[in-house]
Amino acid sequence: MAPDKKTIWSLLSAITDPEIPVLSITDLGIVRDVRIDGEDVEVIITPTYSGCPAMDVIATGIRLELEGRGYGKIAVTQVLSPAWTTDWMTETGKEKLKAYGIAPPQPQRHTCTPGLFATADAVPCPQCGSWHTKLLSEFGSTACKALYQCQDCKEPFDYFKCH
């Protein structure tokens, strides 16, 4: 099958993140580029964090999806620079996070500077919408999330950290 960039991007949008299965890898913004050279297909990806354990699973998922669709020569290349940023997430992806119960990054209320975490009043609860929330831990269920608790509905929730 002759590779077509639009078709490959469409196939990649169906591959979900193994840690947050409601997000596709394109929603997450880790797919940087698709390069085609004759029959060769290269997919360029950037991890959300250096050393992210999900990247090997994602690379395997990309290869399996494309091979299953008849593409033969597939390379998945990880690039670290420039570093991934939550700015690369799609708005659809951020809405999916919220619906799933994870507060999406809030750059409009907090400067997305590496090493800084949102203050308690900058993260709305994805359950009830209250801004009356409290940081419990700078690390949640994965390194890219922080753990918060809503002071109104009392529900704990992950916040996808800006970076």
Q: Which residues fall within 8 angstroms of residue 26, CB to CB, at 6 or more apart? A: 9, 12, 13, 90
- For 5-78, CATH number? 3.30.300.130
* Pairing of the two strands 156-160 and 73-78: unpaired
pLDDT in tens, 14-26: 999 998 999 999 9
Summarised one tens digit per residue, pLDDT across range 90-144 is: 999 999 999 999 999 886 554 444 444 445 446 899 999 998 899 999 888 887 8
Residues of the chain with CATH 3.30.300.130: 5-78
Q: What is the pLDDT of residues 35-50, one digit of tens each?
A: 999 989 999 999 988 8
Give the DSSP letter of residue 20: S
